[in-house]
Amino acid sequence: MSHIGDILRKASHNTPPAMGFRPVAAAKPHMVLVAAINDTSGEAGAQTQGAEAVIISADIKPRALKSLVKTLSVPWGIWQGVPSPTGRESAGADFVIFEPGKAGLELMSNEDMGKIVAVEPSYDNTLLHGISELPVEAVYYIRAPQNTLSWLELMQCRRLSTLTTKPLLIPVSPDTPPAQLKTLWEAGVDGVVVVGTAENTLQEMRQGMDALALPIRRKGPRARPLVPLMATMPAAAQGDEDGEEEEEE
């Protein structure tokens, strides 16, 4: 499994303390913070300080990419097609984010590299439900990284989280209020993706996220009630019984 997959799995599977004489302390719920780099002119290490993983979305040549990632101390990944797959793999990317309508199945050939599928809210429920059976680590919700969250986007987060068992990532602005981050967690979001543009920006955001009192939840498919169907007797059988009754009379 990729490092990003391990990070998301540990953060999204928090369980309460065990019952018994020697209870185990409960793990504190934890929202993952991922940094996104779309400007490679600055110091990547300073831009991403405080993040647990990094996404490089800038169009950068393989040689420059190798130099850039040397300053990173956390797992990193890249959008599919930026740069070429050969350059990406030789540089040691931990994961790749891809749009299902633009990526080919050749991505599956590298089993060591984690896959994150990027989806749009316009996808119907059948497509989203099928993601749970795909070899991907997480789901990325495509939206503009604004610092405000609409009711419709909150509903879409709940929908995505309910229809798939995969961890859910959503891009947000670095000045998103902590209260909205907590609301996203309660809606099923496991991590946020933030563009790091200034030193200490993400570190301050990480401190604010750690101070949130997040409720414990388990990621998984929502149970649906099963309604039993009453079996009806065939019409012919009913007629036979009626006939027997008439003969007895």
Helix axes 178-186 and 151-163, enclosed angle (nearest 10): 40
What is the mean predicted confidence (pLDDT) over 4-18? Answer: 72
Q: How confident is the model at residue 242 (pLDDT cuts 50, 70, 90)?
A: low
Residue 188 resides in a domain: yes
Choose among 193, 183, 119, 187: nearest CA to 159: 187
Residue 21 resides in a domain: no
What is the mean predicted confidence (pLDDT) over 184-210? Answer: 87
Beta bridge partners of 35: 54, 194
- What's the total number of domains in the chain? 1
In angstroms, rounded to a whole number, what is the distance separating the alpha carbons of residues 36 and 44? 10
Residue 117 resides in a domain: yes
* Percent of the chain with pLDDT strictly greater than 70: 73
Q: What is the CATH number of the domain that holds 97?
A: 3.20.20.70
pLDDT given at position 9: 87
Residue 9 resides in a domain: yes
Give the chain's radius of gyration (CA, Å).
Answer: 24
What's the mean pLDDT when you consider all of the chain? Answer: 79
Residue pLDDT, tens place only, 69-115:
888 889 999 887 655 555 545 568 899 999 998 888 888 888 888 99
192 is in which domain, residue-wise? Answer: 3-15+26-248
In angstroms, rounded to a whole number, what is the distance separating the alpha carbons of residues 8 and 129? 19
Residue 20 resides in a domain: no
In angstroms, rounded to a whole number, what is the distance separating the alpha carbons of residues 113 and 120? 23
- CB-CB neighbours of 128 under 10 Å: 17
pLDDT given at position 3: 92
Residue 146 resides in a domain: yes
pLDDT given at position 81: 63
